[in-house]
Amino acid sequence: MAAVEFKKEGHIAWITINRPEAKNTLDAEAFVNLKEAWDQVREDDEIRVAILTAEGQEDFCCGGDLSGVIPLWMGTKQPETDIEQKLLADPQTVDKVMLKAEPVYKPIIAAINGRALGGGCEILQATDIRIAADTATFGLPEPKRGIVPGGGSMVRLVRQLPYAHAMKLLLTGEPINADTAQQIGLVSEVCPAADLQDRAKALAEQLAQNAPLALQAIKRTALESYTDDWNAAFEKETHESAMIMMSKDAREGTKAFKEKRQPEFTAA
């Protein structure tokens, strides 16, 4: 079995971290698989929404494999397999996995089934809608190991959360439970663990019924204008709005509304 499984159901892509025996930590294969999975989501026009989740009931992802990839990056271990060589051949692999180097503008839902620690907590910050099992926990323990959460958290977290909440997570390294994560805005909603996959699928199906170009324009504008001043941000919004208004999907959406039927969007 692959360290990360990829499957497509209609317009929905499922990306599943599959190392439950290793707390779903990311080894060299998992990093390479995840990078390739994001490439597929980005390039496949049939995919409108992606769901990121993990196997098992205890762990979503507990970060990088400390005994594997961390020594590789620190130079204290030499690559022993083709997949380890492939990981090191692209110095931007981690940035691509964490969607720092190459964003995905299609909506991404995180279905968080258990502990999201270290890199596991970081990768969910690159997702758009986050559904957590009521048993999930979240944390960035890197400072306790003498390192920093450099997979995006030092930049993303203080922009996504109120400053004091973000800094407490970043500086203490202490985990929080699902309810607290929802209260501070780290996750969108919490549901019973048994309902997690169904809830994520239902939400993905809802998004997949919307116009795909519109969804991508909304996400692209939100990401790219986040640090702009008002004028520059509104300029981007106006540009994206104009492009979407000229699309066939926009005409189909308004026509379907008048005809009281479901629109048939084609991403055109």
Q: Are residues 135 and 248 in the same domain?
A: no
Tokens standing for residue 46: 């049939």
pLDDT, tens only, 17-74: 999 999 999 998 999 999 999 999 999 999 999 999 999 999 999 998 877 777 777 7
Q: Are residues 100 and 230 in the same domain?
A: no
- Residue 264 is assigned to a structural domain of this protein: no
- Residue 139 is assigned to a structural domain of this protein: yes
The reply to whether 252 belongs to the active site is: no
- Residue 263 is assigned to a structural domain of this protein: no
CATH number at residue 48: 3.90.226.10
- Residue 71 is assigned to a structural domain of this protein: yes
Q: Are residues 241 and 166 in the same domain?
A: no
Name the active-site residue from 122, 174, 237, 252.
Answer: 122
pLDDT, tens only, 150-165: 999 999 999 999 999 9
Q: Are residues 143 and 252 in the same domain?
A: no
Q: Are residues 86 and 116 in the same domain?
A: yes
pLDDT value at residue 171: 98
Length in residues, the chain: 268
Q: Are residues 164 and 223 in the same domain?
A: no
- Band (268; pLDDT cuts 50, 70, 90): confident
Please give the tally of structural domains in the chain.
Answer: 2
Give me the helices (H) in 44-184, please.
69-74, 82-89, 93-97, 119-124, 153-160, 163-172, 178-184
Domain that holds residue 243: 212-258
Mean pLDDT of 175-196: 98
Q: Are residues 204 and 217 in the same domain?
A: no
pLDDT, tens only, 111-139: 999 999 999 999 999 999 999 999 999 99
Which of 234, 243, 236 lies closest to 213 in space, CA to CA?
A: 243
- Residue 265 is assigned to a structural domain of this protein: no
CB neighbourhood size of 21 (10 A) = 9
Q: Tell me, rounded to whole angstroms, the distance of Cα 57 from its chain centroid.
A: 19
Q: pTM for the complete prediction?
A: 0.94
Q: Are residues 20 and 97 in the same domain?
A: yes
Check if the beta carbon of residue 191 is closer than 8 Å to that of residue 133. Answer: yes
Q: Are residues 32 and 101 in the same domain?
A: yes
Which parts of 18-162 are beta strand (E)? Answer: 49-54, 59-61, 108-112, 115-117, 129-133, 137-139
Q: Are residues 28 and 157 in the same domain?
A: yes
Name the active-site residue from 142, 174, 224, 240.
Answer: 142
Q: Are residues 77 and 200 in the same domain?
A: yes
Lowest pLDDT segment from 21-25, 85-89, 140-144, 227-231? 85-89
> Cα separation of 173 and 185, whole Å?
18
pLDDT value at residue 5: 97
- Last residue of a domain, which of 172, 188, 208? 208
- Residue 268 is assigned to a structural domain of this protein: no
CB neighbourhood size of 107 (10 A) = 22
The reply to whether 122 belongs to the active site is: yes
Q: Are residues 230 and 198 in the same domain?
A: no
- Residue 266 is assigned to a structural domain of this protein: no
- Residue 131 is assigned to a structural domain of this protein: yes
CATH number at residue 227: 1.10.12
pLDDT value at residue 69: 77
Mean pLDDT of 73-77: 71
